[in-house]
Amino acid sequence: MFTNENNIEERIQELPNDLKKEVLDYVEFLLNQYKSKDIKKANSFKVDCEGGLSDPNIKISSVDLQHKALNWR
């Protein structure tokens, strides 16, 4: 296996030009895949407040909350 970037570069230099292009295309594909996973991870929405309004002393409905949210916009 390759142990450092110099080994990778040396091996790529041994390839014919058309295969060098394929290597570049594949590297770009891998980078795009990696970036899209990071974006998905960063944009994932976590709901960890389930039951937060389950206190019986709170007298507000989900409809009331929706109306308040519309006013906040």
Over residues 6-17, the pLDDT tens digits come to 888 999 999 999
* Three-class DSSP category at 11: helix
Model pLDDT for residues 24-60, shown as the tens digit of each residue: 999 999 998 888 776 666 666 666 666 666 667 777 7
Return d(Cα 27, Cα 15) in angstroms, integer: 15
pLDDT at 46: 64
Distant-in-sequence, close-in-space partners of 15: CB < 8 Å, separation ≥ 6: 23
pLDDT at 66: 82
Global pTM reads 0.44
Q: Where are the alpha helices (DSSP H) in 1-73?
A: 5-13, 17-43, 62-72
Half-sphere exposure of 8 (CA within 13 A, CB side): 7
Tokens linked to 13: 């230099």
pLDDT at 48: 64
User: Is residue 22's pLDDT more than 90?
Assistant: yes
